[in-house]
């Protein structure tokens, strides 16, 4: 790590790749001879239009996004999508939601304001597992099936997508977006708040199949319609120009290091370091079933809340920041997104081993 930077294990906003930050720094005052920063330039300028076009094209190449899908850059983050999705996709007023943690729970609450929601849940075991969705009882007139593919707070991830019986699959990929290869054609809509694994806060990337973009929603506020953003090329109003620019840098960086296959290999290696330690530790233990452990968010605990707090304080003092678990679940959590280097995880594990030895 350079410039006195810390290993930041925050669940988001989170670390960005250092080569990307260095490139942004070099362009901060004068973007490629334009005489101004990207933060200052008009979103209607030819210079910024090129930034948007290149960002979208690089993302399409990274993910292999088919032509029949639109890529949208929308303000409001993932939370706004909890409402936009049912407002736009509930033609029959029915959807199936798989509740696997805090974020899918929040999405369910918003969807229930729009239509009838069938819920399949893992709440009975505090969201430590993913329900069996190989043979879901899906009503014929269901509009879509919704999942949060990686639960940031509870640390579970889907290893196999649900059998939607031909119904549209909608996925919140916020905390695992671009962390591994993704077959976009398996989904009707993918969305991700970018502040966890791609860029700065304040924007969501939505990848939506064109046939799901409706033109019969005259009573829905214009900004809440996917058609508005699709027709305007994400430029209906002033977009989050800075976030688009930064995300574009990350897309290009991921391409330069070998794409999603390469970053997935690195993510698997990092997670193995963390989970191997937790599996042999006498002081620390993971809280999630091994079969559905997230590569991105690793929640773990000690024997008591008091010891949890002591560990958090010790790690922070040692330069490992944001390891306190979410306030709703407590404990500790290491978020090890794409930009977290393997040496950061190794250093944390070494520190935890030393802490355990000294407090046994």
Q: Which residues are catalytic?
A: 103, 172, 196
Are 131 and 67 in contact by the 8 Å Cβ rule? The answer is no
Query: How far is residue 168 from each of residues 16, 248, 263, measured CA to CA in Å?
Result: 32, 28, 28
Extract the tokens encoding 330. 């407590």
Spatial distance between the Cα atoms of 160 and 158, rounded to a whole number of angstroms: 6
Neighbour-count burial of 180, counting CB atoms closer than 10 A to its CB (0-12 exposed, 13-18 middle, 19+ buried) = middle
Spatial distance between the Cα atoms of 263 and 74, rounded to a whole number of angstroms: 25
Spatial distance between the Cα atoms of 85 and 89, rounded to a whole number of angstroms: 6
Which sign does the torsion angle of CA 204, 326, 153, 80 carry?
negative
Are 227 and 241 in contact by the 8 Å Cβ rule? The answer is no
Phi and psi at 120, nearest 5°, equal: -110, 125
């Amino acid at each position: 790590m350079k410039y006195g930077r810390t290993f930041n294990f925050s669940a988001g906003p989170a670390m960005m790749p250092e080569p990307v930050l260095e490139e942004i720094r070099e362009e901060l005052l004068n973007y490629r001879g334009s005489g101004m920063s990207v933060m200052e330039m008009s979103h209607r300028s030819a210079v910024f239009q090129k930034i948007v076009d290149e960002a979208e094209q690089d993302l399409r190449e990274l993910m292999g996004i088919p032509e029949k899908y639109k890529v949208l850059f929308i303000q409001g983050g993932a939370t706004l999508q909890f409402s936009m999705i049912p407002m736009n996709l509930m033609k029959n007023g029915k959807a199936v939601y798989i509740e696997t943690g805090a974020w899918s729970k929040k999405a369910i609450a918003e969807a229930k304001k729009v239509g009838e929601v069938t819920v399949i849940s893992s709440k009975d075991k505090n969201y430590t597992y993913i329900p069996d969705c190989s043979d879901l009882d899906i009503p014929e007139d269901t509009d879509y099936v919704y999942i949060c593919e990686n639960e940031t707070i509870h640390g579970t991830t889907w290893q196999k997508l649900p059998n939607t019986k031909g119904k549209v699959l909608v996925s919140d990929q916020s905390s695992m977006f671009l962390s591994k290869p993704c077959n976009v054609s398996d989904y009707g809509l993918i969305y991700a708040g970018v502040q966890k694994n791609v860029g700065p806060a304040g924007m969501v990337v939505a990848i939506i199949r064109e046939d799901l973009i409706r033109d019969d929603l005259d009573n829905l506020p214009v900004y809440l319609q996917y058609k508005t953003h699709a027709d305007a090329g994400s430029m209906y109003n002033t977009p989050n120009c800075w976030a688009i620019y930064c995300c574009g840098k990350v897309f290009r960086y991921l391409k330069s290091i070998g794409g999603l296959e390469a970053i997935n290999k690195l993510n698997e290696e990092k997670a193995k370091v963390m989970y191997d330690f937790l599996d042999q530790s006498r002081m620390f233990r993971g809280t999630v079933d091994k079969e559905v452990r997230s590569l991105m968010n690793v929640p773990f605990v000690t024997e008591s809340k008091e010891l949890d707090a002591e560990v958090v304080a010790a790690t922070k003092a040692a330069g490992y920041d944001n390891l306190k678990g979410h306030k709703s679940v407590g404990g500790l959590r290491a978020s090890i997104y794409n930009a977290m280097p393997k040496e950061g995880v190794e250093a944390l594990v070494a520190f935890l081993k030393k802490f355990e030895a000294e407090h046994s």
